[in-house]
């Protein structure tokens, strides 16, 4: 599987998002009503307004924000693949996005034909990054200029789409896919539904960063499995500060 994919030409990524504010009351009156309209159309039966905000606002770029982007790339040392990880995180979303977009530009200069890689990045991570960047008036680098691409031309390697094998209706979580492939789950502490609570109530951003990095590692292990290569050992993973 993936015979024509060069791992050192991939930039793996994962993002973690939260509601943009701790409660809906922190929004302007106009935005509060727009959220109610949005939520009523997408989840008409959703319990209390407070629960709906905490559970769902973070999945929409118009009402959420990014608190962490973790990236990883492969290299070869002593005939073994290694994975280098770097995370952009903080309360200032515009600053972390600017730093991430700068990395994309530099990576593109070094690897002009690189692809993004991750799980469900086509439908979530990449569009969310682009929308939040535009909201912050940040210029998108060339690899994120995706308008006009045919679906099969988009430079992304998505493990969700790989596992579909052409079945466009099929969905599989990263947790389930890693389990059936014999890879340690990245969801051993928190999962995506808990990120808002950990960020706004527990104020434990480092816990979110660790979780985000685990998702990138899980995707890296899946790609190695798909290519029938040895998986990464702890000593093969380097976190760049």
Tens-digit pLDDT profile for the chain (241 aa)? 888 899 999 999 999 999 999 999 999 999 999 999 988 877 665 567 888 888 889 999 999 999 999 999 999 988 899 999 999 999 999 999 999 999 999 999 999 999 999 999 999 999 999 999 999 999 999 999 988 777 667 789 999 999 999 998 999 999 999 999 999 877 777 888 889 989 999 999 999 999 999 999 999 999 999 999 999 999 999 999 8
Task: Decide: helix, strand or coil at residue 156.
Answer: strand
Q: Going from the N-terminus, what domains does the chain have, and what CATH number goes with each?
A: 7-20+63-240 (3.30.420.10)
User: Distance between CA atoms of 138 and 117, rounded to whole angstroms?
Assistant: 22
Q: Describe the chain by its helix, strand, coil percentages, rounded to 5.
A: 50, 20, 35
Query: The pTM is what?
Result: 0.94
Q: Which residues of 146-173 are buried (b: 16+ CB within 10 A; e: fewer)?
A: eeeeeeeeeebbbbbbbbeeeeeeeeee
User: Distance between CA atoms of 36 and 34, rounded to whole angstroms?
Assistant: 5
């Amino acid at each position: 599987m993936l015979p024509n994919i060069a791992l050192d030409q991939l930039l793996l990524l994962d993002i973690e998002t939260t509601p943009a504010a701790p409660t809906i009351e922190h929004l302007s009156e106009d935005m509060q009503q727009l959220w109610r309209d949005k939520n009523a159309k997408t989840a008409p039966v959703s319990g209390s307004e407070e629960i709906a905000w905490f559970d769902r606002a973070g999945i929409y770029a118009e009402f959420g924000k990014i608190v962490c982007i973790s990236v990883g790339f492969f290299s070869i040392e002593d005939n073994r693949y290694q994975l280098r990880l770097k995370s952009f995180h903080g309360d200032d979303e515009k600053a972390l996005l600017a730093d991430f977009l700068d990395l994309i530009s530099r990576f593109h200069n070094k690897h002009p034909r690189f692809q993004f890689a991750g799980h469900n990045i086509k439908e979530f991570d990449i569009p969310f990054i682009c929308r939040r960047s535009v909201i912050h008036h940040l210029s998108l680098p060339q690899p994120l200029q995706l308008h006009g691409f045919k679906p099969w031309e988009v430079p992304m390697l998505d493990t969700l789409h790989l596992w579909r094998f052409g079945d466009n209706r099929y969905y599989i979580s990263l947790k389930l896919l890693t389990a059936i492939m014999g890879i340690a789950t990245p969801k051993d502490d928190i999962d995506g539904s808990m990120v808002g609570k950990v960020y706004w109530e527990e104020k434990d951003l480092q816990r979110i960063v660790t979780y985000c990095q685990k998702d990138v590692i899980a995707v890296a292990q899946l790609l190695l499995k798909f290519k029938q290569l040895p998986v990464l050992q702890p000593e093969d993973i380097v976190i760049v500060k």
